[in-house]
Amino acid sequence: MSRIKVKVVNKSDNPLPEYVTEGSAGMDIRANLTENILLKPFERILVPTGLFIELPIQYEAQIRPRSGLAIKNGITCLNSPGTIDSDYRGEIKVILINLSNEEQHIVHGDRIAQMIISKVEKVKWKLAKEINVTKRNEGGFGHSGKQ
């Protein structure tokens, strides 16, 4: 398996994101905090990570929720997946929201989201007067039924 090289600056004392298993698609990223966060129900906050990356052209980083944090604590990411473009050089920050009915605590070093690096294909639009018809055609939300 080939791996692309991505430059990273880590201004936190947390370990770099890493794949936990051979089959992992995402790498957990951690909160870089000077003081703990008390996240009230339905409150959202921007959480710093201390990470700065330099992605190659035609790649993006996607920030996604951690399933364990979502099911156990009701905390998820807004703007999900969040996209980090290859020309962005600022700190990676994660928008978290507490969708539970209880206050939740976030402390320095907590794994708050996962990051996936993906190749991006660019398109060139070809203006047309019509597009091909398919069996699905205009079937949208819920078109395939409940099962």
13-53 residue pLDDT tens: 999 999 999 999 999 999 999 999 999 999 999 999 999 99
Domain count across the chain? 1
Residue 126 lies in a domain: no
Domain range for 73 is 7-119
* Residue 103 CB neighbour total at 10 angstroms: 11
Do 90 and 41 touch, CB atoms closer than 8 A? no
d(CA 120, CA 132): 25
Higher pLDDT, 62 or 147: 62
- Is residue 139 included in any domain, yes or no? no
Question: Is 71 among the domain residues?
Answer: yes
Rounded mean pLDDT of the chain?
94
Q: Is 138 among the domain residues? A: no
Q: What six digits make up the tokens of 72?
A: 């156990």
Predicted confidence at residue 119, as pLDDT, reads: 96
Domain assignment present for 131:
no
> How much is the average pLDDT of 62-68?
96
Please report whether residue 62 resides in a domain.
Answer: yes
Alpha-carbon distances, residue 144 vs 135, 138, 140, 147 (angstroms): 12, 12, 8, 8
Residue 114 falls inside a structural domain = yes
CATH of the domain at 99: 2.70.40.10
**Cβ-contact 112, 31 below 8 angstroms:** yes
Q: pTM here?
A: 0.88
Residue 53 backbone phi and psi in degrees, to 5? -125, 155
Residue 1 domain flag: no
